[in-house]
Each structure stands twice: as structure tokens, then as C-alpha cells.
Amino acid sequence: MQISVDRDRCEGHGLCAEQAPAIFDLDDDAELVHHFEGVEIPPEQLAAARTAVTSCPVAALRELR
């Protein structure tokens, strides 16, 4: 599974980074850092990744299969 980020929608709330810190982070400018952009999420991180997607208040994250 991969996760796509709609950077135009992202408002930097950071809920995804709280739910999946190995996958997401916010930089010093509150811009989203996606550590697995364009690559498969490791199996051990899938549950956290799905929680992060559903926690985004502006629906900026989408699960790709």
C-alpha cells in the first residue's frame, strides 16, 4: 500500500504525524514530510498508516492500493 498526499489540501494539523510518526512528520514550516512517498509502506506500519489517513481532518491523505 502507498499513501498519496494532496499538498494543496494539507493544512499542517499534524494528526497524521501523531498517529504514524515513522511515516509522517512536520518540518519547521509545518509542511508535511512523507517518508515513504512513492514507495510501499512497510507491513509493520500499515495499521498506523490507515489510522493516519482516517485521522486527517481535511482528507489530504488517500490510501493507494
Residue 55, Cβ neighbours under 10 Å: how many? 14
- pTM of structure: 0.90
| Per-residue cell: 58 | 481535511
**pLDDT score of 52:** 97
Instruction: Kindly list the structural domains of the chain, giving each domain's residue range(s) and its CATH number in brackets, ordered by start.
Output: 2-60 (3.30.70.20)
Q: Tens digits of per-residue pLDDT, 7-52?
A: 999 999 999 999 999 999 999 998 999 999 999 999 999 999 999 9
CB 45 within 8 A of CB 21: no
